[in-house]
Structure 1
Amino acid sequence: MTNEPEYELQLQNLQYYEQRNCKRADLPLDDQSKSRFVRAACYLESLPMAQNQAQTVGLLASIAENVSIAHGMSRSEATWWRTYIDLNNHYYYFKSTLVPTIFWLNYATIDFSNPASYREINAHDTELIGDIT
């Protein structure tokens, strides 16, 4: 989710906010990794139960978008893309921050033992939208 500090330190920092029940007024709002981690963890705890696969991705996207770093604020740390993986149904979702579309594929249909079946895509192509399996 974030680069630094180490995961154990992220969890220690998160405990401070969890002891306060992740109250919205107490959450850190800056774009530092520690703050973004805390917000993401607290938002995740408050998500309603999704009714279907599309809603699950949408709800998770609402968190990821909230803790992203905008382009222009920091070129080296800006969020370039967001990905979501559905391990149960074998879907991989990709959202570039440079185009207004999201696309996905069913990775269970890919023959990873056969490199000839691979294809290359431009993940920032505005024509890529929806299921590209």
Structure 2
Amino acid sequence: MRHLTKLLLASVAICAFAVSAEEVTVTKELQAAMQDIAVHSKVVTVDGSGVNPGNFKQDSDSATLQIVMLAKPSDGAAQVSSDGEVIFLQKDTSEKEQQSLFATAFYLKAKAREAASQPAGVHSSP
């Protein structure tokens, strides 16, 4: 658990940088939301035996960030769910990639929070 806490803190430090392969502009408001999510998310480790990113049933609690430790390489690549609620890891996922996955998850969760707080019909640019 201490290792995940270190990853969480390291992820907060890189929130100002690109969070994926493509360039992403992170506003100060979005960065603040990402940091708030990083600090207040409950990180839950889930046994990945018998699951893969395609068949995993995530919890319905947006206050949690589920970390699924995939059992074998054929279960899928390390990745973040499209809503940022789940991070799938392989046992050999590098620390740098783990940090990037955490930052991506916080970014996606912050974008979802931002979209949910806007009045209907108002959309922010991607």
- Report the TM-score, using the length of structure 2 for normalisation: 0.29
The one of the two structures with greater contact order (alpha-carbon pairs below 8 A, sep at least 6) is 2
Larger radius of gyration: 1
